[in-house]
Structure formats: structure tokens, C-alpha cells
Chain A
Amino acid sequence: MMDIQFQSFIPIKKEWDIVAARQQGRDMSKQIGFGSVDQARIATAISELARNIYLYAEQGKICFEILDDMEHKGIKIIAKDDGPGIPDVGKVMEDGYTTSGGLGAGLPGIKRLMDYFDIVSEEGKGTEVTVQKWLR
């Protein structure tokens, strides 16, 4: 396995970059010690975040950070872009709002996959989503 730095980021410009971000997230969570379900969940959350950047903001980046506060370890992922922003965040966080439709998708899905979720978005300025997952 390649050596992973404490902090890193993957720029998202092309659809292919989504795969690179997933890979980075998976390698990092494996290194931290997450089991396969959690690795897959983290990768799925990254996928959704990166896809949103690719689809709605055109470009941005996914930043990774290993969390270690003596008591437990975890991973922190920040998806950041300077795209159009989301006018009504409350609405997109409602279950069933996604344009892709169906259950289990979109931002509410990401929130379920992770332990911590925060979104800051300003119309015309951009969007920043921060998620964390702790190793149990």
C-alpha cells in the first residue's frame, strides 16, 4: 500500500477524478483500520460528494484528513467548490429531494453513512461539505 500523508486532496474536474477520490478515501480508511463495510460506506459518501461537484459546480476538490485524538481515530473529508451554491440547503437535506430520485441517495444519504455531517453553501459562492467517520 502506498504511504498516505496525514492530509491530502484530490482535485475534481473530470468524472474520472471521482474514482481517484474514492481510491484515496478507501486507502486512507483501510490504513486507519476501518472494516470493509465502513470502507465501502466512506467510498460511497466520497463518490456522492465528488459527483455533486462534478455535476453542479464543474470543479472543486476533496480533502482528506486522518483524525487522531488519542482516544479514537477517524477520517475527515471536506468537499469544497466555488460553484453556484445551493439556494435552499434545508430542502436538499430532506429525504427524497434528490433529482436522482429513489431512496438512499444524495446528501441525506451521505449524512446517514457518516458520523458527522456539516454543509455550508452560499448562492453564487460555493459549497463546502464536511463529513467525519470514527473508528469504533
Chain B
Amino acid sequence: MALEKYKNLLKQYLETEDEAALYRADQFSKKSLMDDISPDEILQIHIDAMLDLYPDLSKDMRLSLDFLLETMISYGIAHQEFRVLREKQLELKSEIEVAANMQSTLLNTNIPEVEGLDIGAISIAANQMSGDYYHFIKDQEDNVGIGVADVIGKGIPAALCMSMIKYALDSFPANRLNPKTILRLLNRVVERNVEPGMFITMFYGFYNKNENCLQYASAGHEPGLFYNAKTDSFETLEAKGIVLGVEDSISYNQFTKCLSVGDMIILLTDGVTECRKGDQFIETDEILQVIKEYLHLPAQDIVENVYRHFERVQDFDLRDDFTLIILRRKE
């Protein structure tokens, strides 16, 4: 019984002041924790043991122990509550894990294999569930549609919202829609189905295989970048547009950028540009610098290396979902 055991340990300690008894006391407390014995109950055991060992314990001493017991009652409740909350937390965690797996199955998109194009993509969630999404679609003529979206916000609500974007995109007719039309239609879906205050930014591009040009439009999304291989320089793909979900009827402007061999289109979310080094945001230049370092590699290796770089910069603790896509024209 706990009381007998405790009494013996206590007695041993009082007689010998021995470290071994203290070590056993430590073991005793671990065992008690496992048996779900609360702090006030331990104290009760202590009081009973003391009264057994010292029947003549002074009245002051006895009362002081009772007084101490009184102050421990709330710790006892807190201890029980803590156990329940911990169980609940484990339950939630595994539930979210299931949801996250489901999300990655639902939102899975394969990077298309297209002759003459080298495509790399990476998307990492800051928490278990991502509010970033990218989508590839290839038609019979090997043209490629690319969407990158970012829900303002993180975690589960953002993730739920993303599934909607995916299913809306899937429901559009397979014949080629303009990026500006796709954004206009998506805006309506988002405006109607998402609570006010939740917004989505999105970039949509359509790469025409024959012309080697990208048509694109943006709904308030982080601007894409263009790498000019000949001049070895970067430029921004400016495309202003209102984020999805603000207003019902919005039209978007569409732009075109043509690629020569070696040129690249770089698409990203603000999880990339808003990486932080300590308190400071990194500069876009730094991103470009890092990309340049890995230019000699295939697109997929570039995005992975860039991710690893910024993961390290942020001490392996992403603050926002991180998505980076590179599309390079090959020979």
C-alpha cells in the first residue's frame, strides 16, 4: 500500500538522511503520477505517515500540515484536468493527422512530364495542414495550366478552403480556359462560399507549348518572377488583381511572357517571401541569390534546395506555408 511504502521511506530518510531514500522518494512520486494520485493525496499520505511515526506531533505542526493540505486541493483538480486535457490533445492530434493525410490525398496533383519543360514544385505546411495549394493540368497538346493559391490564414480553416479551390478548378471544362477567365470564375465560387474575411490569393498561368509563352493573371498573389537566362537576371511578373472572395463580379487582366531556352518562371507564396531571419524579413534579393546558387540543377532539385536553405534560416520552424514552383524551358 502506498501509505506503508511512503512511511517506510520517510522513516528511513529521517533516520539516515540518506540519498538512497531520496532516490526512492523520486521513484515513488513517478509511480504515483502513473497511478493518477494527485498532489493533495500525496500530502494526505505524508500527514498520515507523520502521525503514525510521531503520535505526539505538536498541535501547531499538525494544524500547519492541515493548512498546507487545504492549499493543495486546487492543485489536485488541476492535476486531474491536466490528464483529461492531455488525452484530449492526443485525440485531436491524431484526428488532425488523419485530416492532413486526407488533405494531401485530396489535393494531390502530379507534376506533369512535358517535353521541353523542366518543372519543379515543393509545398510544405507550417502546421499539419496547409493553406497553400498548387495545381497542374496538362491538355492533349501538352500545354500546361498552373495554379498557385494561398489562403490568408493558416491551419484547418485555410485547408478546408483549399479543397474548394481544387474542386472548382476540376469542375471547369477541360478545353483551355484563359487564366483571367479561370480567376473570374473562381472568384465567384469563393465569394459565394467563403465567409467574409477569408480571402484567397491566386496566380494562374497557362503555358502554351507551341509558342513557349506563359499567359498569366493574378488575384492579389505574390508576384511571380522571371529569370532571363541570356542576361542572367530576374524580373518581376507584375500582374495586379483583387484577391478572390472580396467582390462578386471582378475581371482580371491577363499578361503574356515568352520564354527562350533556359528561361524560368518562378512562382511562390508569401511563405517564401516572408521567411524571417530573427525579426527581419528576408529580402527578395536573397531568394534570388539562393536560386542562382542552384541554377545548374534540375528544377525539382532547385526548389528542394531553396526550401532547405530557408528552413535552416528559420531554425526549422516555418511560420507560414511554403510553396515554390519553377518552370524552365529546356532544349
Residues of A participating in the B interface, judged by any CB pair closer than 8 Å:
35-37, 40-41, 43-44, 95-96, 102-105, 108-109, 112-113
Q: B44, B47, B73, B77: which contacts A103 (Cβ < 8 A)?
A: B77
19 chain-A/chain-B pairs, Cβ below 8 angstroms: A37-B40, A40-B40, A40-B70, A41-B76, A43-B70, A44-B74, A95-B84, A102-B78, A103-B77, A104-B74, A104-B75, A104-B76, A104-B78, A104-B81, A105-B77, A112-B80, A112-B81, A113-B73, A113-B77
Interface status of B69 (Cβ within 8 A of chain A)? yes
Task: Determine the residue in chain B with the shortest Cβ distance to A103.
Answer: B78
Q: Is the CB of B77 within 8 A of A37?
A: no
Q: Which 3 A-B pairs have the closest CB atoms?
A: A104-B78, A104-B77, A103-B78
Q: Is the CB of A109 within 8 A of B77?
A: yes
| B66 partner residues in chain A, CB cutoff 8 A | 36
| Min distance, Cβ B275 to any Cβ of chain A, angstroms | 34
Task: Determine the residue in chain A with the shortest Cβ distance to B43.
Answer: A37
Q: A40, A104, A105, A113: which contacts B69 (Cβ < 8 A)?
A: A40
The CA of A17 and the CA of B76, in the complex, are separated in Å by: 25
Q: A40, A95, A102: which contacts B85 (Cβ < 8 A)?
A: A95
| B84 partner residues in chain A, CB cutoff 8 A | 95
Q: B41, B70, B77: which contacts A112 (Cβ < 8 A)?
A: B77
Using known A-B contacts A37-B41, A37-B44, A104-B81, determine if residue A109 contacts B74 with beta carbons closer than 8 Å: yes
The CA of A41 and the CA of B80, in the complex, are separated in Å by: 13
| Min distance, Cβ B267 to any Cβ of chain A, angstroms | 42
Known contacts A95-B81, A105-B74, A109-B74; 14 additional CB pairs below 8 A are A36-B44, A37-B69, A40-B73, A41-B40, A95-B84, A96-B85, A103-B78, A104-B74, A104-B76, A104-B77, A109-B77, A112-B77, A112-B81, A113-B73
The CA of A40 and the CA of B84, in the complex, are separated in Å by: 22
Q: Is the CB of A44 within 8 A of B73?
A: yes
Task: Determine the residue in chain B with the shortest Cβ distance to A105.
Answer: B74
| B44 partner residues in chain A, CB cutoff 8 A | 35-37
Using known A-B contacts A36-B47, A40-B73, A109-B74, determine if residue A103 contacts B40 with beta carbons closer than 8 Å: no
**CB interface residues, B 71-107, toward A, < 8 Å:** 73-82, 84-85
The CA of A136 and the CA of B80, in the complex, are separated in Å by: 19
Using known A-B contacts A36-B44, A36-B47, A40-B69, determine if residue A108 contacts B74 with beta carbons closer than 8 Å: no
The CA of A43 and the CA of B70, in the complex, are separated in Å by: 9
The CA of A93 and the CA of B66, in the complex, are separated in Å by: 30
Task: Determine the residue in chain A with the shortest Cβ distance to B40.
Answer: A37
The CA of A88 and the CA of B136, in the complex, are separated in Å by: 48
Most buried by A among B41, B43, B77: B77
B28-72 CB mask vs A (1 if < 8 Å, else 0) is 000000000000110110010000000000000000001001100
The CA of A102 and the CA of B80, in the complex, are separated in Å by: 13
The CA of A21 and the CA of B82, in the complex, are separated in Å by: 29
| Min distance, Cβ B52 to any Cβ of chain A, angstroms | 14
Task: Determine the residue in chain A with the shortest Cβ distance to B67.
Answer: A40
The CA of A43 and the CA of B66, in the complex, are separated in Å by: 13
